[in-house]
Each structure stands twice: as C-alpha cells, then as structure tokens.
Amino acid sequence: MQRTTHRYLQVDVFADRPGAGNPLGVVLDAAAWDTERMQAFAGWTNLSETIFFLPPTTPDASYRIRIFTPRQELPFAGHPSVGAAWVALHTGLIPASDRLVQECAAGLLPVRVEGDGLQRTIHLRAPRAYPMEVTPDPPERDTTLASLPTAGLPAALWNNGPAWWLVELRDAAAVRALEPDLPAIAALTQATGAIGLAVFGRASAQDDHDLAVRAFCPADNIPEDPVTGSVNACIAAALTAAGVLPGTAGRYLASQGRELGRDGRVHLEVDGEDEVWIGGQVQWVIDGQVTW
C-alpha cells in the first residue's frame, strides 16, 4: 500500500494539564485507510486507543470515528470519544456548536460542549450499559476475586460497547494500594470476552473526588489504563441500578490514573432517564504529520 501523509494529533483526555489523563492518538482524514492499516498504526502508537476520522455515513452525525486499541477495534470507548469531539472542534473539522452527534460503531452518541478554546469541556452520553450473565461461572472468576478486598456491590460483568468486570473494593485506599494479579485478570477477561477488569472504591470526605477507579487490561497489552471513560460509565450505571450513586443530584467526580502519575478526573452525570454522561477536559500536546 502506498504511504500517505496525514495530520496527526496527540491529546491528553480527562486532564486538567498536559501529562495528566489518558493520551489519545488521532489521525485526521483517514477515509482511505482500511481496517488492517488502522490496526497496524494503532499497534505502532502503543497507546491505549488511537482514533481515525472518517466521513459520516448519515447527515445526523457531526463527525465519525473508528476506535482501535493496540490489538482490536472497539465499538465505543470513553476517552477516545471525549477526545474526538474536542479535536473535531479544535481543528475546525466541524463548525463550533454546543451540541454535537458522534458516529461510531456503537451508533450515534449525543455530545454537549461547554466553554471554548483550551478551556472547553466535553460531555458525551455513553451507550446504555447492561449487566451480562456469565454461565457457567468460570473458575477464573473465583481465582481472580479471591485476592481482592471486595465490598459493596457483588462483582459483575457489564457492557456498554466493551465488556468490563466491575469489582467494588472496601474504599478508595484499597483501590490505591492494590497490586493486581495481571495473569489472573488476563485469564478471566479472555475466558469471558471482557476487555478488562476495573476496581473502584468510595473516597473519604476529605478527598476532592467521590470515587477512586483503576482499570486493568493485560490481555489487550495494556497492564493498567490511565483513565477509562467506558468503565466509569459502566460503574455509574451499576451504582445507579443498585440505588447507591455517590455525589449529589446524579453527579459525582471520579479519580483515575494517579497510580500511573496521570491523575485524571472524570465527571459523571446520570440524567432523569438513567442515561450516563461522561465528561472532562482535554489538553493539546502534539500537532504534526504522520506518514504511514
């Protein structure tokens, strides 16, 4: 295949400063790229996700993206989606607006925009999450959970595009101190078709956030993901279903990535229809060209 040159950006998502949050690779004008080419490039960046902008297939969409980890394509992922809306506006790919619609493999997702420029904040409605029945219960589940200080909600597999094992720990301190058994997590996720396992715990009243979160995807070559929008949306859905949502008036703040030196902040909102919105800031780090 002939090499072509495209504008390439890298941004930090769910970040209040460069170097925080989760880095995202972005290729603009990738209409001529096929799946194999996108997957190869995403493997080369070795970021947790890389996105590719394509022409929308419907006039209802403001823009369209495909999302790839180093090993597979995802129908939806949170930090790529929040980052995509910010990049589409920042680069002038679409006209400025406070209401957008993202097209991705998970469908058409509404986006709300607050502010402008580098202070712009993106809020995106995640696909509706649902619990998945796992039958028969794999032996890897008990092996993996046995070493975790679980509390609160029972461990469960939830899906909002990707599937995530969600495990509540006794508090945020237990989340921070956890030394994950990555081989066990990889075995569990591979046995159940999940992309990873996430742990979460409630913060103390002295913290500046309501929930601490960590997410592990060793089978996808991502031992720990810095900040994960899809998993935070799944957690919010699970907490809403159980009637134990933290925060006030359906809103709370999650902290993820501190253990990797990338302390990110995810704004969660559950609206009156129990739809989960994920939001945050984006930081522009790299703007250049890629030849591939």
- Please state whether the peptide bond connecting residue 136 to the residue before it is cis, i.e. omega within 30 degrees of 0: yes
Give the integer Cα–Cα distance in Å for 145 and 264.
Answer: 26
Residue 9 gets the label, from left (phi > 0), alpha (psi -120 to 50) or beta, of beta
Q: DSSP class of residue 213? A: E
Rounded (10°) angle between helices 78-90 and 229-242? 120
| Closest residue by Cα to residue 231 from 199, 261, 203 | 199
Catalytic residues: 49
70/41 Cα distance (integer angstroms) = 8
Q: Residue 31 CB: number of other CB atoms within 10 A?
A: 9
